[in-house]
Amino acid sequence: MTDQTQKPLESKLLAQTASEPLRLKQLPLSRASSKFLEWVNTWVKNWQPAQVLPIILMIVGSAVWLFSLPQVNLDRMNDLGLVSTLPITAWIALGLLTISFSLVLTAQKVNSVLILFHMIILVFMLYGITAIVETVPRFGPSWRHAGVIDYILRNENVNPRIDAYFNWPGFFIMGGLITQIAGLDSAVYFLKWSPFFFQLLYMGPLWMIYNSLTRSRRLIWFGIWVFYLVNWVGQDYFSPQAMNFFYYLVILAILLRWFRSSEVTIPRLVNGKLLQQIPKIQGVITQVFTSEKAPPVPTSLTQKAFFLLMMVVIYFVSVTSHQLTQFAILFSVLLLLIFQRITPKALPIIMLVLSGMWIAYMASAFMAGRLKGMLEAFGQLETALDANLVNRMNGSPGHMVVTQLRLGLTLGVWLAAMLGFVRQWIRGTLETSAALLVAAPFPLLIMQTYGGEMLMRIYMFSLPLAAFLAAALIFPIIKEPPSWRYTVAVGLASAVLLGVFWFGRYGNERMEYFTPAEVAAVEFTYQHAEPGSLIATVTTNLPYKYINYEKYKYVKLEKDLVLGDMVSLFTTLKNPKYDHAYLLLTRAQEAYVEMYYDPGLIDFEKLENQLLFDPQIKVIYTNPDAKILEITNFEAAP
């Protein structure tokens, strides 16, 4: 085409464009974009001017919190834990968030989106703080778990003869897979943010459980809020129990959502001659079985089969991962079935078979030599109480305050749950399923002491439904919208629980956090210790065993030092089986003995001086937070 013919064509097109308005063809929106715009439109329509103040408080509180964190000085921490280092601005931030949440929860209309933002910020404040203020990951067991994963990645197998972890390796195998997918050389990178991740993970099944029990969104959200304020147990670190607690919640959520029983048969015993003579008790028992009516959830046979299979798979994964959680699940299912709250009668039989097979075959290496002792401990309630309560009532004055507050918070939550159950009963709602699930973990106490931690684990398993019933002391309300009294009640309850939370959750932080200097000392040990060497420590709270898990022999000297048995201690360190032994003395270990024992009972400086009298023992490494002694054994067997 020539220039002369092109110009008239361009002029015609320009003239047509000027005479006609420009029309743009509307492009079709994607399904996700359409739903998002619909949600925004709905949120704008439901916008209330009264929500402006809570949003401002939430944003300001978050900003003040971030401003406060650099002011936390861990060197000033005492035996009360992390609470002793929090600046006043941190408490102001928590107060602003609490006020904001109280206003939103008791507003004329419940804004679940805004409440969800409050929940995420609360979890970040309560469970993400150590990931920010502490330089290296905290808590010794989490480092050991990374070491088990390191072993699996290097050897591509598990060795049940090493220790208990390898008899329930499900979590570690999954952790190794995730580590490989992420392209990381160690699972240590996951440690710092694990509590924040797991606590967020719990929110989904918690919401499902509560939503299956009540239609009150205020009660649902306040129950989750209370759960986070009283979860002091600290089992959400990088561990099998953290992941298995999620499995526990998911199974409860599925049961209460899709397998609630709508038909109840009154046991014959209730209509027996004995109870007929006591009509009040007969009426109460009858009400327990019949008063809780589950809302119908349309579910096809195929869907029920799918959810049943899902529960069996999840339970099997739990069986392979943790020795205790499976029994908490089993007891919960059994109790719900006995009181006819759920329908799948074959489920506990399947669970029992799976647990029995795993213990008999896959965990046989662990059970060998331990079964007799476990059977002897079974049913010894007094022994269990001594290990879980009496033996914990010792230590420094600050540590005793923390211990007593933890015990008080635990008993207080259970008492509040009981009162919430009674108040709901008086209102005409009998929360039978919730009460049963609070009670279900208690039989675990007679199984074994679990290293003095069984009562703590029982509290953890009972907490989801205990928090729900405790929240029922305030919600659901009888009249809508709620009055200002409910706002005050939520705020005051939250303030009290927040104050106690910091003592309970982080009361041991002085011995549970580690410094870079302590990590450097452990790294030095692994660089210089030949495989097969003996590595000794006073206690186990230090960042070790994260690499070459199986290549060293580890020993703890705490018992010998408590008894003052230096002969036994020297015998251990100079065992002729080992050419070299290494004794690690760190700041966190010293904090442990200062918090748990009488002053001067275990003196690190005195211990070092006694050991250095031996010419075969010398200091090979020192920094402000750690010291390493090398024991050379010239009498070691060739």
Residue 26 inside a domain? The answer is no
In a domain, 406, yes or no: no
40 occurs within a structural domain: no
- On whether both 534 and 569 belong to a single domain, the answer is yes
The whole-number pLDDT of residue 426 equals 84
Average pLDDT estimate for 400-422 = 95
Cis peptide before 482 (omega within 30 of 0): no
Look at residue 17 in the predicted model and tell me its pLDDT. Answer: 47
CATH number at residue 580: 3.40.50
565 and 492 together in one domain: no
CB-hemisphere CA count at 13 Å for 246? 19
Give rounded-to-5 percent helix, strand, coil for the chain. 65, 5, 30
Measure the CA–CA gap between 137 and 516, rounded to whole angstroms.
10
pLDDT at 569 over 70: yes
Q: Average model confidence (pLDDT) for the chain?
A: 87
Instruction: Give the pLDDT of residue 483.
Output: 83
The answer to whether the beta carbons of residues 73 and 85 sit under 8 Å apart is yes
Find all residues with CB under 8 Å of 409, minimum gap 6, and list them.
Answer: 230, 232, 500, 501, 504
Are residues 549 and 607 both part of a single domain? yes
- 8 Å CB contact between 82 and 502: yes
- Which has the minimum average pLDDT: 389-393, 410-414, 423-427, 560-564? 389-393
For the segment 552-569, the average pLDDT, to the nearest whole number, is 93
Whether 580 and 494 map to the same domain: the answer is no
Instruction: Please report, for residues 234, 244, 362, 363, 566, the alpha-carbon distance to residue 321 in angstroms, rounded to integers and kept in the order given.
Output: 18, 7, 12, 11, 39
Is residue 590 domain-shared with residue 616, that is, in the same domain? yes
Q: Which of 503, 534, 556 is the last residue of a domain?
A: 503
Query: Alpha-carbon distance 271 to 246, whole Å?
Result: 40
Domain membership of residue 216 (yes or no) is no
What is the average per-residue pLDDT within 333-346? 91
Residues 498 and 567 reside in one and the same domain: no
Whether residues 536 and 590 fall in one domain: yes
pLDDT of 319 strictly over 70? yes
Task: Give the pLDDT mean for 184-204.
Answer: 96
Domain that holds residue 58: 48-138+487-503
Same domain (yes/no): 518, 576: yes
Tell me the CA distances in angstroms from 175 to 186, 260, 457, 528, 546, one per residue in order.
10, 34, 23, 28, 13
Last residue of a domain, one of 472, 503, 534: 503
Packing angle, helices 397-427 and 587-596, rounded to 10: 70
Lowest mean pLDDT among 43-57, 85-99, 154-168, 269-283: 269-283
Residues 532 and 499 in one domain: no
Report how many domains make up the chain.
2
Q: Is residue 527 part of a domain?
A: yes
The percent of residues above 90 in pLDDT, for the chain, comes to 67
Distance from C-alpha of 500 to C-alpha of 410, rounded to nearest angstrom: 11
Same domain, 496 and 535: no
Q: What is the Cα–Cα distance from 527 to 634, expressed in whole angstroms?
A: 22
How long is the chain? 638
479 compared with 203, residue with greater pLDDT? 203
Classify residue 594: in a domain, yes or no.
Answer: yes
Is 427 inside any structural domain? Answer: no
Same domain flag for 553 and 619: yes
Q: What pLDDT score was predicted for residue 377?
A: 67
Residue 609 lies in a domain: yes
DSSP 209-241: HHHHH-S-HHHHHHHHHHHHHH--S---SSSHH
Instruction: Tell which residue, 435, 472, 416, has the closest CA to residue 220.
Output: 472
Question: Whole-angstrom Cα distance, residue 262 to residue 418?
Answer: 25
Rounded percentage of the chain residues whose pLDDT exceeds 70: 83
**Same structural domain for residues 56 and 86?**
yes
From 449, 475, 503, the end of a domain falls on 503
pLDDT, tens digit (0-9, with 9 covering 90-100), for 53-68 = 999 999 999 999 999 9
